[in-house]
Every structure is written in structure tokens, then in C-alpha cells.
Amino acid sequence: MSTSNHNIYYIFGAGASAGKQLDYSFPVNIINDGKIFNEKKTIKFNSFPLANSFTETLANYMMWINFQIDSNESKIPELKNRYEEFKYYIAEIFAELSKIALRFNTIDEAAKFYYIKGRTNELLELKKEINKIFNFIDFLIFQRDPRYIQHLITLVNKQNKIPENIHFLSWNYDNQFEIANRILFGDSEPNIKKLNGSSPFFDRYFEGYINSWENNFEIIRPETINAFESEFLHFEQKKYANSIRFSWEKEAIGFNNDVINAIKAIKTTNNILVYIGYSHPFVNFPMDSELIKTINPKKVYLQDPNFKDSYNVVFKERYELKCDVEIINDCNRFFIPNEFFINSSIGEYRFG
């Protein structure tokens, strides 16, 4: 039973999981004129790498990993070799992805290049590396964006369920939505359509994660390293690669057509569309255009800290929209439109 006369469609982009920039400080040794000075280094990075700061974010993560592992080595000297092996393993992944990002500007454009050229093995290898990096960030360093679970908590009705008129779609590979859903609702299947597929969700990572989910950062544990490497270091090339699909791949087109047909089956003219952290890259234009045409929103909200008010004009022209488009720059929480509360029973849940 719906809680509102409106259907609200959320579409998450990479900027949603990137969240606000994080400040993280740790001591580093600075060499100047042959002398070593110990200084505090503060790095700013998004919790997930964005296209326009991909290599910088990965480099900052590597600095953080070095500090965490070096600190842990002093506490557990017998694990020194184990941590050193893992550090070089992660460094190789970061270096390879950074090299690709610099060459093609974005990972998506690199993937499309391999697809067009029929370089299947390179495309599968790229997907495998993407899976590694997102599992590493999601589970090994316990990086969690609290806004996902805050958002779900706010939306639940008096039956402690997400209302049927709320629909989630995502272009992201990460498991941030799934993690929040598991924390809040247990093993229930998350109600989200992943348009680009998703990095695999490993239950044995989650068991360790659930004990530490209130922490944004935590020292990498040896048992977690072992689990990570056993999943990704020795396996068939295609095993996890196919969990990610790009919108222009044949496999994705079939899935996304099913998504379009499911939206068409929801017969309503009161549709609200909320984009969170999505830059509408040109490689996704065909699917974005089809989604907007099918949803046929009466209003669109674009939540992104970097969008200027003038972007709504560009957006409306690109997708031939006649409805109002509103820019939301405050990203401390995921946006909930006023239309959610119109003729809504959620007030009854909140206030008795």
C-alpha cells in the first residue's frame, strides 16, 4: 500500500557513494636537506573514486593503506611480510586502474573502447579490477556512507518497510545500498535495480563488517586480507567479471529493457524523479533518455554539490523536458522531495 499519491524514482550515480570529501590525518616522514622530519599529513578524498579525481583518490588511498599497514606492523611484527605482500598487491591494482583512467579519461570510456574493438579479454580484466577495488573499499577498510541507512530509516512506513511507491535505481557498482539494507532489514532482498550490474556481495566480509559498521575507518585485519585474496587472487577470469555490465553491452540492454517495462507497468502520471550524485555521462545517454521518457516526471530534482542553477536549463534541453527541474546542492543527506509527504501516512508513523 502506497504512502503517497506520487511515485518517486531515485537514481543514484557515482557521486552518491562518493559523498562529502573526507579529511584523514596521519604522520608522515618528510625528507628535507637530508634530514627527516615527522609531519602530520591531511588528505582529502571522496570515499569512492569519481571520474574527475580517480587517480588522485586512489593515490590518497594508497597513502592511507601504507600508514595503516605500517602502524599495524609495529603492533604485530610477525605479520610484517603478510601486510607487505598485500600492500604491493593492492598497489598493483591501483596503478593499473589509474593508468587506464589517465589514458581514456574515465573507466567507462575505456570499457567501451575495449567493447567496440572486440578486445574481450581486456574488458573482462578491467571488470575484474573494478570488482576488486569496490570490494576493497566496501569491505576491507569498512568505508561506509551513513546517508544510505539514514535515507532508508527516514523512508520506512509504519510497517517498517520501504513504501511501494518508492523505487530505487543505481548506476553504481558498489554495495553501499545493499550494506545499508542488510543492516536495517536483515537478509531481505534490496529493492534496487543496478543498471550497470554490481560488485559481488560476500557474506563472510559482511560478518566482520557488521561488527564495525559504525566506524568509517578501521585497521585492515589479516583474516579479511585472506578472504579478499582467496576470492580474487585465484579464480577463473570470468567468475566475477560478468557481475558488472555496462549499459551499452548486449547483456545490459536486455536487463535494462526489463527495467523500462517494469516502470511502464506502474501506471501513474504523478512521477517524481530524484537524481543523486549523477553527472549523466554521454556514454549512458541512450538509457538515461529512455528512463526519463518512460518515467515522464512531473518534476525532477538533481542533487549534486557541484551543479550550478544554470545546469537545469542544459538538462531540460538535453532530454527535451517541459517539467520543472530543481538543483539541490546540500548533500549532507539524500534528498526527500516534498511530494513524498503529500497525502502520506508516514506522519501517522512518526507522530502516533
DSSP string covering 284-311:
GHHHHHHHHHHH--SEEEEE-TT--TTH
pLDDT of residue 350: 32
pLDDT of residue 240: 60
Residue 27 parent element (H or E):
strand 22-32
Strands 299-303, 271-276: pairing kind: parallel
Q: Which residues pair with 39 in a beta bridge?
A: 28
pLDDT of residue 346: 43
pLDDT of residue 83: 67
Between the alpha carbon of residue 51 and those of residues 110, 192, 239, the distances in Å are 12, 23, 26
pLDDT of residue 8: 94
Helices (H) and strands (E) in the chain, counts: 14, 8
pLDDT of residue 347: 39
Residue with cell 550497470: 196
Residue ranges for the chain with pLDDT beneath 50: 1-3, 211-218, 237, 345-352
pLDDT tens column, 165-192: 999 999 888 888 888 888 888 877 778 8
Q: How far apart are CA 284 and CA 292, in angstroms?
A: 12
Burial of 164 (0-12, 13-18, 19+ CB in 10 A): middle
Q: How far apart are CA 241 and CA 174, in angstroms?
A: 14
**Coil vs helix vs strand at 35:** strand
pLDDT of residue 116: 92
